[in-house]
């Protein structure tokens, strides 16, 4: 084995000890949902925002809240509603009569972990204010610009079944999210355990097991995870196959696509693949890491044509075809 990789493996072994602790603490409250918990950890380790989509009652909000309890950090839950204003999120200037001057009152965005609950319930102005803070990691109130603390992570939820009274996020803004998770129903045994837990008199809470400093240190180790040039080219091929499908023997999907994935997809695929390898205690990325997170990185980055919608073909179907067709190194 390459001595550098061995050194990275040793470092990962040391810095990833908290992962099992987080998973066991979250499991005290959340039944199952291993896919969602692992992807949230990938977002934390890659410094990428996450959009969770699923019908109500699947513990999206509870999972994010529980995860925040395992980190000794500030957490804010913001319930998005149609009457919410950008100032409610970012903060505003308040006139102090005694001092005869304006003072800044910071909003709930000044936290480390933000849960934007039902983000598609608020108008475009509020969504834009949040997405700008996500991208720039700073907020301007009046003439003053304030840097947001590190770590700063937005975990947003949206309900896909209701269209009335909602404001769907524009494609260009959804692109700011590193991962878009599709949260499914629990199995029979899991649902039975959920019912039993919820009817108990006393429920357990997750305890803090990691500090923000330890998380930032783990992120630095994730950046060191080795990625071979073949894997880098494989990632670029996956993204290019959504833009120029005919070059990869995917002529049949060309009429179904209006636009392929953006360069953010390439960047986020590489970052998320490294974090996935880190969670597997590996100092190098394999094609399986890329394939494992490919759907979550890409599903919201391919824009379908009317033909695809008419044929009831989803973005996930197209991404799966790409992942199955592009040659694995």
Which tokens in the block code for residue 112? Answer: 């480390």
Mean pLDDT of 173-190: 82
What mean pLDDT, rounded, does the chain reach? 84
- CA gap 181, 295 in Å, rounded: 9
Residue range 130-145, pLDDT digits in tens: 888 888 888 888 788 8
Contact 66, 74 (CB under 8 A): no
Q: What is the pTM (predicted TM-score) of this model?
A: 0.85
Cα angle 82, 86, 91 (rounded to 5 degrees) comes to: 130
- CA gap 28, 206 in Å, rounded: 7
Q: How confident is the model at residue 2 (pLDDT cuts 50, 70, 90)?
A: low
88: Cβ–Cβ under 8 A, 6 or more apart, which residues?
Answer: 107, 126
- CA gap 139, 111 in Å, rounded: 12
Residue range 216-262, pLDDT digits in tens: 888 888 898 888 899 999 999 999 999 888 888 888 888 888 888 88
b/e map 279-313, b = 16+ CB within 10 Å: beebbbbbbebbbbbbbbbbbbbbbbeeebeeeeb
Least confident of 153-162, 172-181, 198-207, 232-241: 198-207
Contact 71, 208 (CB under 8 A): yes
Percent of the chain predicted with pLDDT > 70: 97
For the chain, list the strands marked E by DSSP: 50-53, 75-79, 91-96, 101-106, 113-117, 138-141, 144-147, 153-158, 179-182, 257-259, 303-304
53: Cβ–Cβ under 8 A, 6 or more apart, which residues?
Answer: 157, 158, 159, 160, 180, 181, 182, 183
Domains and CATH numbers, the chain: 18-199+209-214 (3.40.50.300), 225-325 (1.10.8.80)
- CA gap 74, 65 in Å, rounded: 11
pLDDT at 250: 82
How many residues does the structure list for the chain? 329
pLDDT at 1: 46
- CA gap 156, 64 in Å, rounded: 9
Is the pLDDT reported for residue 32 higher than 80?
A: no
- CA gap 83, 165 in Å, rounded: 11
pLDDT at 201: 64
């Amino acid at each position: 084995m390459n001595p550098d990789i061995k050194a990275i493996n040793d470092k990962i072994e040391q810095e990833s000890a908290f992962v099992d602790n987080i998973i066991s603490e979250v499991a005290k409250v959340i039944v199952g949902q291993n896919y969602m918990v692992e992807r949230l950890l990938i977002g934390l380790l890659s410094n990428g925002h996450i959009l969770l989509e699923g019908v109500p009652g699947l513990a999206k909000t509870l999972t994010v809240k529980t995860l925040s309890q395992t980190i000794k950090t500030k957490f804010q839950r913001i319930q998005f509603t149609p009457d919410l204003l950008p100032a409610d999120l970012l903060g505003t200037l308040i006139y102090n009569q005694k001092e005869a001057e304006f003072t800044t009152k910071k909003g709930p965005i000044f936290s480390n972990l933000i849960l934007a609950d039902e983000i598609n319930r608020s108008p475009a102005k509020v969504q834009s204010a949040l997405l700008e803070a996500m991208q720039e990691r700073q907020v301007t109130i009046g003439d003053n610009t304030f840097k947001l603390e590190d770590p700063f992570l937005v975990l947003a939820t949206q309900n896909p079944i209701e269209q009335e009274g909602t404001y769907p996020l524009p494609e260009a803004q959804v692109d700011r999210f590193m991962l878009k998770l599709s949260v499914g129903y629990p199995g029979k045994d899991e649902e039975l355990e959920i019912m039993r837990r919820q009817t108990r008199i006393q429920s357990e809470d997750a305890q803090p097991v990691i500090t923000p400093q330890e998380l930032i240190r783990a992120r630095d180790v994730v950046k060191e995870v080795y990625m071979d040039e073949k894997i880098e080219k494989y990632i670029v091929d996956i993204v290019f196959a959504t833009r120029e499908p005919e070059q990869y023997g995917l002529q049949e999907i060309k009429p179904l696509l209006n636009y392929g994935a953006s360069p953010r997809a390439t960047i986020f695929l590489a970052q998320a693949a490294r974090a996935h390898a880190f969670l597997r205690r590996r100092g190098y990325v394999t094609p399986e890491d890329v394939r494992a997170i490919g759907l979550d990185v890409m599903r919201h980055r391919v824009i379908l044509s009317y033909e695809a919608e008419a044929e009831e073909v989803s973005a996930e179907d197209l991404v799966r075809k790409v992942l199955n067709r592009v040659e694995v190194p």
